[in-house]
Structure 1
């Protein structure tokens, strides 16, 4: 429980500091580099992907080398040869124009 309280206190304290810097930048004519740095830093932290998990633990993870195998299959000349031409509206030409 104490770790949770410390985290909550840090989030609230840093959030209050960020809003104070935003308010000073908007309302005080003499606000300067310190407030700008706090605002830019807080905004930059909001762009971090904090909800990411390691690839091995992710749900629906793809096998290693899957894209490499698909790329090689796409460049195989034997796989590119087709004997029939796709009809308009059929699945054979899906995604190509």
Structure 2
């Protein structure tokens, strides 16, 4: 069996994602189960998580290749010739 080391950044992102997901579920369940006791914080967390779920739909990668960058150039005046050497 081959063991691979997982970078610390990856583990941190996974942990943050799990905590954020747990917080969102807590807020949604609190809003559903005890709506009289839940407040603005739970509503904001639930709405924010729902808004983030829509993000991948609107920020999808394009199927066409990226545009090529061009080099900037200065336009010479007609009849100006080259500058002093």
Q: Tell me the TM-score normalized by structure 1.
A: 0.52
1:60 to 33, 40, 64: 64
Q: Which residue of 2 aligns with 1:27?
A: 33
Structure number with the bigger relative contact order (C-alpha 8 A, sep ≥ 6) is 2
Gaps of 5+ in 2: 1-6, 69-85
**CA RMSD of superposed structures (Å):** 2.6
Match of 2:54 among 47, 51, 61: 47
The number of aligned residues is 60
Task: Looking at secondary structure, tell me which structure has more helix per residue.
Answer: 1
Deviations 1:32-54 (A, max 9, x none): 2111110000100111137634x
Aligned to 1:90: none
Report Cα offsets for 1:6-59 as digits up to 9, x if no partner: 000000000000000011001113112111110000100111137634xxxx55
Which 5+ residue runs of structure 1 have no aligned equivalent? 65-97
User: Shift of the alpha carbon at 1:62?
Assistant: 8.0
